[in-house]
Structure 1
Amino acid sequence: MQNEAIELPVPVDVDRETGKWSVDGLPMVLVPQHLLVNNMDAVEQRLGRDESAQLFRDAGRRSAWHWCAHESARLGLSGTAIVQHYLDRLSRRGWGRFEIDALDPSRGDLSVRVRHSALLPVDGSSRSVDRACYLFEAWFEGALQYASGESEIVPVHEIRCGVNAEECLFTSDGSGRCHDK
């Protein structure tokens, strides 16, 4: 099956003077998937996966919170609706196909499946891991934190990864709020 050119699922604005891209008023950069995966692999090889995950976690959580705040102000969305919008936009921007099984930001409950994750190893990658998609944990934490209006963070964990399964699965039971900002 051959891929064909289709219209982008999100509108991309390109500044004629600078060439910079934006989607929904936020700056964007289009990068090859192998660049992202190989960079993650290099960081993991240098620091180890646990240290890499912590490094990416803080930045990812802040970025998700910022994105949700931006979209909330732009569209007037809050609570469950802003998290649903966030995951829809991640799907539309090529990060994978995000499917919500359970979502209640007020209780810190979340269960999300991700098919076709952009974080899985690609041809030419030396990445050999059993849990490749942990970046999404922080993104879900930031979105839940924003949607709940709480300062506490609800930990989200990847309990199954698409490296060894048909899809990734991320969950939070909502009972383990932490104060890690």
Structure 2
Amino acid sequence: MVLVPQHLLVNNLDAVEQRLGRDESAELFRDAGRRSAWHWCAHESARLGLSGAAIVRHYLDRLSRRGWGRFEIDALDPSRGELSVRVRHSALLPVDGSDRSVDRACYLFEAWFEGALQYTSGRSGTVPVRETRCGVNADECLFTSDGPGRCHDNQRRP
């Protein structure tokens, strides 16, 4: 485990976005984030004997405990690719004194949720998850899957 101050994380993310642009940065981090979540879920599933929604709940609980934010599940059905998660106090939001002007700061979590859903569903493709509301402009972030049963098979399995 490596602990870093929030401003270091946010400032580095901002630097990548400034250099590559928001969309390119999101794509850069998406594959790595999805792969990391998939492997974490696989490891914890084997270690604890958890599967399905239980491993996703465990994953989000661990993210919360490690300071990434407060993850609250509103809807979860991995077999259908259904997910709705609210995040309060996201570690990815701009910190006080930051000149970071963004409308969507927490998009990195999208890939993490996709990887967890992909692992639990056993699908070879991913169920796209999008940040539909961000804590920059609201009290919390909201992430939802594209809808039950929708899967993009053109994504490779980690």
- TM tier relative to shorter chain: over 0.9
Preserved CA contact (<8 Å) 1:154 1:178? yes
Query: Distance between the aligned counterparts of 1:96 and 1:175, measured in 2?
Result: 25
Percent identity between matched residues is: 91
Shift of 1:87: 0.3
Query: Distance between the aligned counterparts of 1:83 and 1:124, measured in 2?
Result: 34
Q: Does 1:83 align with 2:26?
A: no
Query: Distance between the aligned counterparts of 1:119 and 1:132, measured in 2?
Result: 6
Preserved CA contact (<8 Å) 1:61 1:140? yes
TM-score by length of 1: 0.82
Larger Rg: 1
Preserved CA contact (<8 Å) 1:152 1:177? no
Query: Distance between the aligned counterparts of 1:41 and 1:173, measured in 2?
Result: 27
Shift of 1:175: 4.7
Q: Does 1:100 align with 2:73?
A: yes
TM-score by length of 2: 0.93
Paired residue total: 153
When the two chains are superposed, the root-mean-square deviation of aligned CA atoms in Å is 1.2
Shift of 1:152: 1.1
Larger relative contact order, structure 1 or 2 (CA cutoff 8 Å, min sep 6) = 2
Preserved CA contact (<8 Å) 1:120 1:132? yes
Alignment partner of 2:43 out of 63, 70, 91? 70
Shift of 1:169: 0.2
Alignment partner of 2:27 out of 39, 49, 54? 54
> What is the CA deviation profile of residues 71-121 of structure 1, one whole-angstrom value per residue up to 9, with x for unaligned ones?
001100000000000000000000000000000000000000000000000
Flag the 1:48–1:100 CA change in 2: closer, same or farther, 3 A: same
Alignment partner of 2:125 out of 152, 155, 163? 152
Preserved CA contact (<8 Å) 1:155 1:176? no
- Corresponding residue of 1:162: 135
> What is the CA deviation profile of residues 27-54 of structure 1, one whole-angstrom value per residue up to 9, with x for unaligned ones?
x101111000000000000000000000
**Moved segments of 4+, more than 3 Å:** 173-180
Query: Distance between the aligned counterparts of 1:71 and 1:31, measured in 2?
Result: 24
Query: Distance between the aligned counterparts of 2:86 and 2:152, measured in 1?
Result: 26
By percentage of residues, which structure has more helix? 2
Give SS of 1:106's match.
Answer: helix
